[in-house]
Amino acid sequence: MFRPLLAALALLLAAAPALAADTVVSQKNRVFRPLEVTINRGDAVIFTNEDNFLHQIYVNGLFDSEEKAPGEDLKEVFTQSGTFQVRCHIHPTMKMTVRVR
């Protein structure tokens, strides 16, 4: 009696798309932490400015943020697979890698 219902529910759940996940990256002492993350295509990275000064985050060809003040976040969804270097216009030595599967 319940088997057909359970089988239908299992098929429905298996076909449902995975929910996108957010990965948090902090910016503190002019450093991204962690220095490297691996995410799935469609997931977002939230960059949190925990420094006492501005940051302006970018990935060539993907996004280029406005200046973010201390305490502000930037959320970027990565829609393309590949390996991307994230940098800060204001602090050129700040670098991190985002790998998107």
Kindly report the CATH number assigned to the domain that includes residue 35: 2.60.40.420
Residue 3: burial class (beta carbons within 10 Å; 0-12, 13-18, 19+): exposed
When pLDDT is averaged across residues 16-40 and rounded to a whole number, the result is 89
pLDDT in tens, 35-65: 999 999 999 999 999 999 999 999 999 999 9
Residue 75 to residue 39: CA distance in whole angstroms: 14
* Model pLDDT, residue 6: 46
pLDDT in tens, 56-93: 999 999 999 999 999 999 999 999 999 999 999 999 99
- Do the domain assignments include residue 52? yes
pLDDT of residue 4 exceeding 60, the answer is no
What DSSP letter does each residue of 68-86 carry, written as one string?
B-TT-EEEEE--S-EEEEE
Q: Could you tell me the pTM of the whole model?
A: 0.79
The domain tally of the chain equals 1
Residue 54 to residue 75: CA distance in whole angstroms: 16
- Do the domain assignments include residue 6? no
